[in-house]
A and B are shown apart, each in its own frame.
Chain A
Amino acid sequence: MKLWLKVLLAAFVLGIIAIIYVYFFLWNKPHTDFDKAKPDFSIQAEVLYNEYKTDAKAAGLKYNGKVLEISGNLSSIENKDTLIIAVFAFEQGMFGDQGVRCSFLPKYFEAGRMLQSGAAVKLKGVCQGFTDDVILESASIVE
């Protein structure tokens, strides 16, 4: 085979590989599986809430986007159609109870619904930030 043909063929194959890579690993890259992620911090829910309440900017720099393993006594479970949320409440605010709110991954909906108010639990999730609560999403039950 002539050299220019070999070069053309190699460039074509590399181009196909690049397109496949971009399509599967960039354009359609999957969401992070936080269920398998190792926690960056382990912290008591109340300590976490107080850090954000004292200095939300500093706490955000430290925890936003990080996987947190939080422990504490559950205040309540909110059971909506497509949302199961574990609530650690520490005070009242404009929007009701304030504290740490953890939205479960769908595979933990059933287990989340069974959790009892007052139970000591350990949950893991990604910290998305602070409104009047610290918000954890993609949460799973550790124990």
Chain B
Amino acid sequence: MKRIILIAALLAFVTLGVNAQVFITKTGFIKFYSSTAAENIEGRNKTVNCAYDVKNNNLVFKVLNKSFEFEKALMQEHFNENYMESDVFPNSNFSGKVTNAKDIDFTKDGVYKVTVEGNMTIHGVTKKLSQAGTFEVKGEKLILKSKFNVKQADYGIKIPAAVAKSFNESMEVTVDISLEKMNIKQK
């Protein structure tokens, strides 16, 4: 009898579905910063899409380039029209995994050092990326933070010759994204 009840319970569990842990947001924050002789350049995006699937260890970012805001309208215009060519390449993406995911206890609040590896696509160019950062488990939230440099030339972003000498060859990217657990039923 006990065996029948156990089998029935397992069947019910499988039939009704298993809740998988997926953390998502559409209001992630990414900032990039670069200094030039004339002035500093800073673009901020507060509507980054990000998802992390704990079961499959899949981490995905999707960024709409035109959602980067600049203090100066002219800078924003140059960023979209001349550097990123946002009409041709509207999105920047990252898809990868956490190499040390087994070190993270998603049931225990805490800050965990992580290394993320995957493919980053900017301006239509895809490159392998491996970067350090942190995952902070905070109740139903997962907070991702990282800071790293990206070379414009690696992604085919051309700086006009007239201003190239005064530009830094790389920009500092800051990631600060707070994800929330989404309930997903998988059959």
Contact = CB atoms under 8 A, between A and B. Distances in A.
B130 interface: no
Interface residues of B, number: 25
A95 B67 contact: no
Interface stretch (A8-16, A22-30, A106-114): A22-30
B87 interface: yes
A28 B46 CA distance: 23
B67 A128 contact: yes
A125 interface: no
Contact of B49 (A32, A60, A83, A131): A131
Q: How large is the interface on A (under 10, 10 to 19, 20 to 34, 35 or more residues)?
A: 20 to 34
A122 B138 CA distance: 37
B143 interface: no
A48 to B, nearest CB: 16
Contact of B51 (A31, A32, A85, A94): A94
Given A27-B74, A130-B90, A131-B49, A95 B27 contact: no
Given A60-B90, A131-B62, A135-B64, A96 B24 contact: yes
20 contacts: A29-B72, A29-B73, A31-B73, A80-B27, A83-B46, A94-B51, A94-B60, A95-B25, A95-B51, A96-B24, A101-B47, A103-B47, A128-B66, A128-B67, A129-B66, A129-B86, A131-B62, A131-B64, A131-B91, A135-B64
Given A85-B27, A129-B90, 18 more contacts: A26-B74, A27-B74, A28-B72, A30-B73, A32-B73, A60-B87, A78-B27, A80-B27, A83-B27, A94-B51, A95-B25, A95-B62, A128-B66, A128-B67, A129-B86, A130-B90, A131-B49, A135-B64
Interface of B: 24-27, 46-47, 49-51, 60, 62-67, 72-74, 76, 86-87, 90-91, 182
